[in-house]
Amino acid sequence: MVRRIGTALFGLVAACGSPEPGVSDATTTTVDTQPTPDAFVPIPIKHVVIVVKENHTFDNYFGSFPGADGIAQIVTPHGTITPPHAPDRTPRDLCHMHSCALTDYAGGGMNGWDSVAGSSTNGDDLAYAQYGEADIPNYWQYARHFTLGDRFFANELGPSFPGHTFVLAAQAGWATGNPNTTITHPYWGCDQASGTQVTIDESGTCNEQQVFPCFKIPSLPDVLPAGVDWKFYGTNFYLLPEIWSMFDAIDSIRNGPGWANIVNASSFDSDVDHGKLPAVSWLVDQDFDDEHPAVGGVCAGENWTVGHLNHLMASPYWQDTAILFTMDDFGGWYDHVVPPRQYGCDASAPYGLGFRLPLIVISPYAKPGFVFHEVAEQASIPRFVERVFGATRTLSSIDPAAQDGQANDLFHAFDFTQAPLPPLMLQTRACL
């Protein structure tokens, strides 16, 4: 099927002001006075760990966080409501495909969740629900002690396949959804059966195409300087034996020597213990601890994250590491902030930006108790890595579809001149 809403790439960039942030409390700094680091300010980061979990918006996890742009009352078609309390394990998934995200977005009205084709169609207001500090206390502890970003947006209005690919490549080949799968070929990417297809917006236009999900696009390893090593620490896909990684959808990695760098997340702690942690790591759960609605609880998922981060913080690596914690996509949950930039397709059906995702920056050099209000996006993660390690090329210089060249580099979430913060060792919890 071809969707012909427009004939040219829609590249509207809105220079919108940020919505008014919430009131800061005494423990949260909201004013940034640090200059952008330059050649005269050494960058003490030698290791970057990117933690990606599943399917939550900023409002869903941090909508009541002091000093952040959250929301206490939501206007719905059936009246103004207080966000319900989100359960640890949800009774069902929420629609988060591109079509549902566009309906939710409602041309910037941000009021389509209750529409027939939106993400909240059961009449129980689940999509508007929020977790509080008591539900994810350790994530809130990280946010209170380090830096929380409240203007961090998905790069696409849609689901996991593009969301996971953006943190590897600053693009997703213009994919708008997830590939179809079979029982024998459940993994997304080059390993799928030959008849597998995924929908893309052809070169960012409104013309839809169905293509095999094995993309010839550059990814972050292509621009890392010589000697900067990397690994993707992934998990088994639920009860199946293979390691799940979105690098499977990037042809040069899946069918090249880089595939040897895809390892099981169970080796992350061992690599830390034995001094083998690479400069760049992705740490991704795609099993029962991924925090995906209707799959695993947020308590168990938080414990998985805390266990690995405790291990790293107790090691010598803590002194020169930056950890970026975020989600792959919005999961169908409500968020009230209008994405400030639209690109791809046209104004009625942009490719992105998508809705806000949580971003926690954890590092000895993260600004303590700081809410980072600058607009950033998933492509900011590759951009941050490029800058930290002095890449001489961006991914967008190789392929203009990549969004890293224009993305915020996240450097204002750090103060590289401050006295290094100590590690924050946290206790895992007993989950009900």
- Residuewise pLDDT in 10s, the chain (432 residues): 333 333 333 343 333 333 333 323 333 333 333 445 555 679 999 999 999 999 999 999 999 999 999 999 999 988 999 999 999 999 999 999 999 999 999 999 999 999 989 998 788 899 999 999 999 999 999 999 999 999 999 999 999 999 999 999 999 999 999 999 877 777 899 999 999 999 999 999 999 999 999 999 999 999 999 999 999 999 987 667 789 999 999 999 999 999 999 999 999 999 999 999 999 999 999 888 999 999 989 999 999 999 999 999 999 999 999 999 999 999 999 999 999 999 999 999 999 999 999 999 999 999 999 999 999 999 999 999 999 999 999 999 999 999 999 999 999 999 999 999 999 999 999 998
d(CA 336, CA 108): 10
pLDDT single digits (tens) 275-327: 999 999 999 998 889 999 999 899 999 999 999 999 999 999 999 999 999 99
Whole-number pLDDT of residue 270: 97
For residue 280, the 8-state DSSP code is E
Cα–Cα nearest to 289, from 302, 277, 280 = 302
DSSP letters spanning 75-143: EETTEEEPPPBPPSS-SS----SHHHHHHHHGGGT---TTSTTSS--SSS-GGG-B--TTTSHHHHHHH
At 416, is the secondary structure helix, strand, or coil? coil
Can you tell me the distance from the alpha carbon of 167 to that of 239, in angstroms, rounded to the nearest whole number? 25
Peptide bond into 353 cis (omega under 30): yes
For residue 269, give the H/E element and its range.
Answer: helix 268-273
CA 111 to chain centre: 23
DSSP 388-399: HTT-SS-HHHH-
- List, in order of start, the domains of the chain with CATH numbers: 47-71+133-170+216-413 (3.40.720.10)
| Residue 168 Rama label (left phi>0; alpha psi -120 to 50; beta) | alpha
In the structure encoding, which two tokens stand for residue 191, read together? Answer: 């390993």
Q: How many Å apart are CA 130 and CA 289, to the nearest integer?
A: 19
Cβ 61 vs Cβ 148: under 8 Å = no
- Three-state DSSP class for 248? helix
Environment class of 77 (CB within 10 Å of its CB; exposed 0-12, middle 13-18, buried 19+): exposed
Nearest to 332 by CA among 171, 151, 122, 174: 122
User: Helix-strand-coil percent breakdown of the chain, rounded to 5?
Assistant: 25, 15, 60
